[in-house]
Structures are given as structure tokens and as C-alpha cells.
Amino acid sequence: MNHFLDLHTTDATELRGMIDAARSMKDARNGRPRGAPDDTQPLAGRMVALVFEKPSTRTRVSFDLGVRQMGGETMVLSGSEMQLGHGETIADTARVLSRYVDLIMIRTFEEAVLQEMAEYASVPVINGLTNSSHPCQIMADVMTYEEHRGPIAGRRVVWAGDGNNVCASFLHAAGQFGFDLTFTGPPQLDPDPAPVGFARDRGRSITIERDAARAVEGADLVVTDTWVSMHDSQSARERRHNLLRPYQITTELMARATPDALFMHCLPAHRGEEVTSEVMDGPQSVIFDEAENRLHAQKAILRWCLQV
């Protein structure tokens, strides 16, 4: 069963194959209207369940559109409106959905929910974000970097701010795609040691630099994310903002990176908080390419899961 649960649990050669397939499929669409079908319809007759226990714009729309372009159909399900949100177990939900659909994409809170869904489903399961990781996003980000600047292997990425779930997937990607990563942020929000260890075990240089200006010096890619994630308590908002203010991405900070460095943010962003509008809308920013490439990368992931 080809579940797509995390970058560190998926073979690196398979991940590379998905990125290459995504680029080919993107090229093959050749500027046609978004709603037009692909030339090939590998998901014809397939039904995909998109389960959301947290809000989403990009994940929801890009998965829905991607399945339709490939000839399949989707049903978008809100966790709170399903029996899942009223006490039915994950295991039972997984077994029931597997009788109706060909693949389950789930966005949820705890990693354990994703793992249980995958354990009991008899169809492939895709991780659409948990509190611990966001692998679909980082597949799109690797694709985006390489479209603009060539191979990401050997480059140095700086993650600024909160060492959150998206940071964890960037660390997994460092190990799988062969780039180095510097984390710059306050010690209270350091990344989880497990993904740091995963990347280091694969020979990558993973460093922590508390001074943002020093961290960004000579970087090839600068990445940040919102200071308060969906799973964080809103009561921690002020404390987090105070801790993270020195890590805001500004034009002055970007000027310390290499001249052709890119800026990424998975979105949604809080302009004026983790990043200024000047950087978001500036020449180094590829934020909307990242958003578009969610579509293409996930189409490749769907095909890999279903082997079609």
C-alpha cells in the first residue's frame, strides 16, 4: 500500500520520481484553462475523500482540482460534520471510508490520527498536514526551488521563526533531497529533535543560529511561517510574538542572503508579522509559485499512491 504519510518514511528515489513527474505533468498542461482535463485521465472512475479537521484554502482547492484534472471525483468532508467528530473511532472511519472511496487525504491534529487512519484503511492515505508535519507542502517547495534555481542538493536553506510542523518537513526534505538547513529562532521554539536527527544521520549540516542576520548570511533560500499555527493556543499569541519579532523577514535581512536567494512561505501569511509585504511582493518571493505547485506536486503524489 503506497501511503504518503511523511517525507522521512518515503524512499528518497520515489520522492525524486514524484517531483520529476509533477514537473512533466505541469509542462504537459501547457497553459490550458485550470478546469480543462489533462490529456491522460489516470484517475478516471476513482473517488477521493478529502477529510478536513482544520481549515484550509490551498490544500482543499489544489487536491480537489488536481483529482478533477486527472478525471477523478472528490468528496470534501469536514471532520466536525462526520461521525468522526462525534466519537466514532478513527479505525472504524478508516474501514468504512475504504468501502466507498479509492484514496483518503486527511488534514488532522495529532500524528496518531493519521497513523491510525493508515493502519486501518485498505486504500492509500495522504497526509494533508498534522501538528507534526506537512509533507505535501514541502514537495511543492522543492519543486518550486528547482524550477527557479536548479537542483536543491547542496544548497543552504534558512528556516526563520517557529520550529513547527512545516519546519519538520523541511528538515526531512534536507535529509531526503540533500540540502543543509540553518534554523534561526528562539530556543523555546526550536524544532523537534527527531527531524533534526533524521537529516544529520543522512550527512546534512543542520545548525542553529540565534542571530537572524548571521543565519541568513549567504543563504540560498529563506523560509518562514506564521508565528501562531492552527494547533497553537491563541492565548500564547502575545508571548510568541514577543519571542519571534527579531526573526521577521525584512528586505534588509534578505539582502544578507546570496543575490539570487529565494523567499518562501507556505501561506497563509500574516503580513507585517513574520514577513513584511515588501518581501512577500518582492522580486525574491516565489510564494504564489509554491501555492500553484501544490496542485502539480499532489497530482504526482496521487498517481504514486494509486500507481496509475
Choice from 3, 58, 156, 299 touching ligand CP (CB under 6 A): 58
Closer Cβ to ligand CP, 212 or 266, answer by number:
266
Task: Tell me: does residue 122 bind ligand CP (CB under 6 A).
Answer: no
Do the beta carbons of residue 125 and residue 5 sit within 8 Å? yes
- The count of chain residues that interact with ligand CP, using the rule CB under 6 A, is 9
- Binding part of the chain for ligand CP, among 53-61, 92-100, 146-154, 254-262 by CB under 6 A, reads 53-61
Q: Show which residues are catalytic.
A: 107, 134, 137, 225, 266, 294
Closer Cβ to ligand CP, 215 or 221, answer by number:
221
Choice from 98, 131, 132, 137 touching ligand CP (CB under 6 A): 137
Contacts to ligand CP from residues 239-298, by CB under 6 A: 266-268
Residues 6+ apart with CB under 8 A from 156: 179, 180, 181, 182, 205, 218, 219, 220, 221
Cα pseudo-dihedral 126, 198, 297, 92, rounded to 10: 0
Beta bridge partners of 75: 49
- Binding part of the chain for ligand CP, among 24-32, 52-60, 92-100, 250-258 by CB under 6 A, reads 52-60
Choice from 8, 10, 56, 159 touching ligand CP (CB under 6 A): 56
Q: Which three cell numbers stand for residue 206?
A: 543542520
- Residue by residue, DSSP assigns 115-154 as HHHHHH-SS-EEE---SS--HHHHHHHHHHHHHHHS--TT
Q: Which three cell numbers stand for residue 290?
A: 509554491
Mask 73-112, x = binds ligand CP (CB under 6 A)?
----------------------------------------
Distance CA 96, CA 108 (A): 18
Closer Cβ to ligand CP, 74 or 137, answer by number:
137
Task: Tell me: does residue 10 bind ligand CP (CB under 6 A).
Answer: no
Do the beta carbons of residue 136 and residue 143 sit within 8 Å? no
Q: Using CB under 6 A, list all residues that contact ligand CP.
A: 56-59, 129, 137, 266-268
